[in-house]
Amino acid sequence: MCGLGFVSFTDRVTMDFMDVKLWVKLPSEILERTLSFLAPPELCRFRTVCKRWNYLICTPEFRFLCMQNARQDGCFLVARYMIRGEGEQDPYADGHFDKNHGWSFLDLNSRRWHTIKQDGHDVFDYFNIASDVAMDGGLVCQILDTEYGYMSALPDILVSNPIARVSRILPPPPCPCYTDTSKLNIVVNNPGRNFKVLVIPNSLDLKTAGSPFLVVYDSASDQWRCSSFPSMPQMSNPHISIDVQCSVFLGDETLYVLTSAGVEFAEEFLLWSYNHVEDTWIDTGVSITGMELIYPQLIVSCNQLFLASWWRTSHALWLPSGDAASQWSYEIRKINLEDKTLTRVFNMTGEIMAHIFEMPAQGLDQGWDSALHQGLLAHAFGLTAFGIGKFIVLICEPDMGQYNSGVAIVYDRSTSSWDLLPKNPLIPFNFESGLHKLWYRKPMNLFLPVNRLW
């Protein structure tokens, strides 16, 4: 793990404040304990202090200590980036990206951006720019699409540790998991550093999928298994399609899954919980009117479940151009599992959201006027929501030169106030000769590899 290479976009932390003589005299136990509380960017820089520190930071015992002392809530917003230089080849020409790529990190405590550049060619040269990601416990999970497959004719599932710049392709799942229809989740057990990957192979029209509802990979056994199937009354109705909208982990064992059932437009959303240890499904009894929701996302904050979505404030079927934004608002509602109700905690009108997230006027017209077609609004506005402690982060993901600005805000639920986060220095960019995409998922801690998995 000697290839760490954090580079700070802001002022670098120096060691001028440190009394070198004092630190040299410290016993190894005290030094180890003190350094273990530092964030990974500082650890990477402090490896250059002396051979003693470098050796200490690279030992498995020290890395376990870092995990024990890590904050409970993740403090890094992690993004995978790709940049294609001006005049370089078309990435679609032969399935190979001639690009500069790596990882970008926002420390939510210091609000500093860092980057790790990827050296040379690796598996990410075959990275599908349209694929989804899942993150937890310092690991990133990704489905590599068939078109850019790596060593396989079917999509591969890749797990990587960005700070260590190492990756691992999992054994083939029981059924194909394609990027455009699969829902991906990963959960890491920090004490043992084992992880599980849960994939819903086909989230569109479950009745005709012909595949398991969910497949589970366990790193401890290095094997996949198929889950049981939830009991859905709508499955017997040939006129109703059932789709999976989103999913999220609450704790280490329970995955919550939001399904929609309806014809053309979703008429009803149902919330399910799945215990991957016991392989059991439970209908939570939470039901949401689907006609009011577009691009729903389940998020977890302070061990509580929330639903973030665009909500329609008017049921007019035809919206005049220029007035469409007033028909929509972005809301976050707490899901009260005990009484099966939703409580609004955040609300912004479409006009305010468009202003804050720097959506161009042409994007506003196209996005809002097409909002009745599910997915167009999400594609044009691309908001992704995450929970971290008492805070909720909303970020407009840059996506291949669309209208997504990369602007991010953090909402404090305890004070009902919000603030702008610093924009990634990789933005602004030009699609024709620059950044293709930044993938963001929920904030997490970053860890150095500690066991045989890597």
Cα 437 to Cα 46, 205, 401: the distances in Å are 31, 28, 8
pLDDT tens sequence across 10-68? 333 444 445 656 766 778 788 888 888 877 777 777 777 778 778 887 787 887 788 77
**CA angle (177 as vertex; 372, 122 as ends), nearest 5:** 110
Q: Which residues contact 87 (CB under 8 A, 6 or more apart)?
A: 433
Q: Which residues contact 230 (CB under 8 A, 6 or more apart)?
A: 213, 272, 274, 281, 283
Separation of alpha carbons 112 and 309, rounded Å: 28
Sign of the Cα torsion 170, 174, 179, 182 reads negative
Q: How far is CA 22 from the centre of its chain?
A: 42
Least confident of 150-159, 170-179, 225-234, 325-334: 150-159
In the chain, domain spans: 7-68, 70-440
Least confident of 93-107, 167-181, 298-312, 346-360: 93-107
pLDDT tens sequence across 98-130? 556 777 888 888 888 888 776 655 555 555 545
Q: Which of 176, 286, 284, 282 is nearest to 224 (CA)?
A: 176
Superfamily for the 70-440 domain: Kelch-type beta propeller (2.120.10.80)
Q: Which residues contact 415 (CB under 8 A, 6 or more apart)?
A: none
Tokens linked to 311: 């909500």
> Which percentage of the chain shows pLDDT scores above 70?
62
Question: What pLDDT, on the 0 to 100 scale, is given for residue 8?
Answer: 41
Phi, then psi, of 313 in degrees rounded to 5? -95, -10
Maximum CA extent, the chain: 77
Question: What pLDDT, on the 0 to 100 scale, is given for residue 340?
Answer: 93
Indicate the pTM of the whole model.
Answer: 0.79
**Highest-confidence segment of 23-27, 257-261, 310-314:** 257-261
